[in-house]
Amino acid sequence: MSIENLEIEEEIEEVDYTDSTNIYRRKLINKLSIIFACLILIIITRVFDKYLPFDIIMTSIIFLSLLAIIIVLALGSTIYVFKSRNTLETQSTNKLHKKLLNVFDLLSVVPIFIAIISFSNAFLLSPATVIGESMEPTYYEGQDIMMWHLNIEYERFDVIILETDGNEFYIKRIIGLPGETIMIDDNKLYINGDQIEQKFLEDGNGSISVNTYCSIAHVTTCEFNVPDGSYFVMGDNREHSLDSRSSILGYVSEEQVYGRVVIKFNNIFRDVLN
């Protein structure tokens, strides 16, 4: 082998990858920090979140499995980054840092997405699925809905999600506000003595085909005095709705109300991932 070739080999062997590795290292540490920050946020929202029953992401086996795998990989990579701090000049360390950075560029999207959804569910918007026929034809069983629950002042005719004493969730419409007097008389609705139009009950022809009875016994005249801090609610499908007309549910306190329904949507996570 010639002297010239030996000098070239020595130059190749003496390449120092420290600067390049440090660039990958810093970026990798940033990615790992984001993942752990998202994990902390997810844990916090689960500890203090009363909307956990509506968290569609954390009930998905696929997302939970992905999150578990990412956490294990992140912990292992963190240990490796710490242990490899004295071998930054080597090519092998450089290559592995680069590969890990490429991997976490992709994987970090998952915990970020989960954290955003969990935060939104805890403080802003929560998804739910309609069960039962009490709100037909406005909402049908199996439809996906979204409820808003940040700084809400509920108004008459808002559609809400409420929790019963039996820890079940109902979807109903607010009819009476705190302190009001509700009267049902011969299929007509009166609030504080004034008859109220119920446009949401009209069909495509502008007529109302549902009957608003006072109770299951089909009493036609009755009166309800809504206590302070409570609401009088009914389902749009008046003849097939357990609501404030019945003592089983009764008046709904402000603490029982979880949010106002604002939109219908297609919950792909429920249909595809579970």
Cα separations in angstroms, 57 against 31, 48, 141, 179: 22, 17, 21, 39
Between CA 117 and CA 2 the distance in angstroms is: 65
Shared domain check, 107 and 138: no
Range of the domain at 40: 3-123
Q: What are the structure tokens assigned to 127, written together?
A: 């998804």
pLDDT confidence band for 268 (50 / 70 / 90):
low
pLDDT of amino acid 235? 94
Q: Residue 159: its pLDDT value, please? A: 97
Selected residue with higher pLDDT from 214 and 227: 227
Burial class (CB in 10 A: 0-12, 13-18, 19+), 195: exposed
**pLDDT tens by residue, 84-112:** 989 999 999 999 999 999 999 999 999 99
Residues tagged active-site? 134, 172
Question: Percent of the chain at pLDDT above 90?
Answer: 62
**Model confidence band, residue 210 (pLDDT cutoffs 50, 70, 90):** confident
Task: Please state whether the peptide bond connecting residue 137 to the residue before it is cis, i.e. omega within 30 degrees of 0.
Answer: yes
Residue 204: pLDDT above 80?
no
**Mean pLDDT, rounded, for 229-249:** 92
Residue 274, domain member (yes or no): no
Q: Kindly state whether residues 101 and 134 are assigned to the same domain.
A: no
- For residues 190 and 215, membership in a common domain is answered with yes
pLDDT given at position 55:
87
Q: How many domains does the chain have?
A: 2
pTM of the model: 0.81
Arithmetic mean of pLDDT, 213-225:
80
- Per residue in 140-158, pLDDT (tens digit) is 998 999 999 998 899 999 9
Q: Tokens 């297609």 correspond to what residue?
A: 266
Which of 123, 153, 181 marks a domain boundary? 123
Last residue of a domain, one of 74, 92, 123: 123
The Cα 140–Cα 137 span in angstroms is 6
How many residues does the structure list for the chain? 274
**Average pLDDT over all residues of the chain:** 88
Confidence of residue 216 (pLDDT cuts 50, 70, 90): low
